[in-house]
Amino acid sequence: MVGVKPVFWTASLEELKREFDSAGLPAYRAQQVWQWVWQKGIAQPTQMTDLPQSLRQKLEAEWRFPLPRLLHRRSSQDGTQKLLWELPEGGSVESVWIPQRQRFTLCVSSQMGCSFNCRFCATGQMGLERQLKGYEILLQVYGAKFLLGLPITHIVFMGMGEPLLNYSAVMEALTGLTQRMGFSARRITISTVGIPKGIERLAERPERFELAFSLHSAIPEKRQALIPTAAHISLESLRAALAYYCQKRRDWITLEYVLLANINDGPEDVAALRDFVAPPLAAKVNLIEYNPTPGLPFRPSPRLKEFQRALLRRGLIATIRYSRGRDIAAGCGQLARQLVS
């Protein structure tokens, strides 16, 4: 009968208090359990030592506390770690932990595989295996923090999958991250290939999440060639949705731009990008160094710095994201679950 018990991760504190109340237990007991689970990272009722034995047994009998299982862990020379998790509902996904001075970023997956086939991305070549449940997204953070003891200050939805095509699960994970694990929304970035409806819905949320949009080319035909699945989503409709986000938030967004040799790194690309970033869209450009993927016909552009300078000269804000964890295939777009030994 294990399958019928509710998963603890999906419950809110209010629900737990109600449940406890109807069982004749005081609200502070619910609070205690909550602290064990979400603040101390203890998910086994037997280890909640200040609870009466009967309550520990009750929790054990009535709830499931499934945890992810670490299948594989690889460290890069630069300190980046790639984690392969087996998830409670079956199958596995990768998360990447990236230390950078005082900043510790965990990059999480929102889907198992991806339904977009961005030509340059290894995950894109896998296809979509399944949607992740909200709690499975959350457990990647919970597992890294509490099972592995890794410090985490920032979270980015830049692993496998397209977060805005698993919208309700991603929202559930975001609620868990902010309201249960205590992460500030400003330290959580959602990276999207560009789903206008999803961007608009995100703009309506009360929290101020950071938004990154994977543009890669502001020339419609080029973007279509790079991201064929997005062919039916026009750049104008995306620009309108992003502008709405900026206006609603009174904030900047980030445009991600993987610089590919001889593909999107020329003067016409700079000009198109310059035109794309105009009010009401407020955006900074993050140029991404391409991580080569075996079998794919792309090379990193040698013009990264030059391209950045060209954008700066035209008054844009442009930064470069150098590759991390490339030696263990943990860089952007390299997550395809091959085990690097």
Task: Kindly tell me which of 45 and 113 has the beta carbon lying closer to ligand SAH.
Answer: 113
In the complex, minimum distance from the CB of residue 255 to ligand SAH, in angstroms, rounded to a whole number: 9
Task: Kindly tell me which of 30 and 256 has the beta carbon lying closer to ligand SAH.
Answer: 256
Which of these is catalytic: 107, 114, 121, 332? 332
Tally of CA atoms within 13 A in the half-sphere of 302 that contains its CB: 0
Task: Kindly tell me which of 43 and 283 has the beta carbon lying closer to ligand SAH.
Answer: 283
Of 255, 236, 165, the residue nearest 202 (C-alpha): 165
To the query of whether residue 94 is one of the catalytic residues in this protein, the response is yes
Write the DSSP string, 2-60.
GGGSPBGGG--HHHHHHHHHHTT--HHHHHHHHIIIIIS----GGG-TTS-HHHHHHHH
Of 230, 227, 198, 224, the residue nearest 211 (C-alpha): 198
In contact, 82 and 331? CB cutoff 8 Å: no
Residues near ligand SAH, by CB under 6 A: 118, 120-121, 158, 162, 191-193, 214, 256, 258, 288, 290-291, 293, 332-334
In the complex, minimum distance from the CB of residue 293 to ligand SAH, in angstroms, rounded to a whole number: 5
In the complex, minimum distance from the CB of residue 162 to ligand SAH, in angstroms, rounded to a whole number: 4
Between CA 196 and CA 316 the distance in angstroms is 24
In the complex, minimum distance from the CB of residue 181 to ligand SAH, in angstroms, rounded to a whole number: 21
Task: Kindly tell me which of 155 and 258 has the beta carbon lying closer to ligand SAH.
Answer: 258
Phi–psi pair at 50, nearest 5 degrees: -95, 15
Of 196, 215, 189, 192, the residue nearest 276 (C-alpha): 215
In contact, 189 and 154? CB cutoff 8 Å: yes
Between CA 320 and CA 78 the distance in angstroms is 17
Between CA 330 and CA 327 the distance in angstroms is 8
In the complex, minimum distance from the CB of residue 97 to ligand SAH, in angstroms, rounded to a whole number: 16
In the complex, minimum distance from the CB of residue 95 to ligand SAH, in angstroms, rounded to a whole number: 12
Task: Kindly tell me which of 48 and 287 has the beta carbon lying closer to ligand SAH.
Answer: 287
In contact, 256 and 212? CB cutoff 8 Å: yes
In the complex, minimum distance from the CB of residue 36 to ligand SAH, in angstroms, rounded to a whole number: 33
Which of these is catalytic: 94, 162, 172, 210? 94
Helices (H), the chain: 13-22, 27-34, 53-62, 134-142, 167-175, 196-204, 220-226, 235-249, 267-276, 304-313
Unique residue bearing structure tokens 């959350």? 138
Task: Kindly tell me which of 115 and 153 has the beta carbon lying closer to ligand SAH.
Answer: 115
Of 97, 194, 109, 191, the residue nearest 147 (C-alpha): 97
**Nearest to ligand SAH by Cβ — which residue?**
333
Task: Kindly tell me which of 95 and 191 has the beta carbon lying closer to ligand SAH.
Answer: 191
Between CA 138 and CA 121 the distance in angstroms is 24
To the query of whether residue 332 is one of the catalytic residues in this protein, the response is yes
User: Which residues are designated catalytic?
Assistant: 94, 332
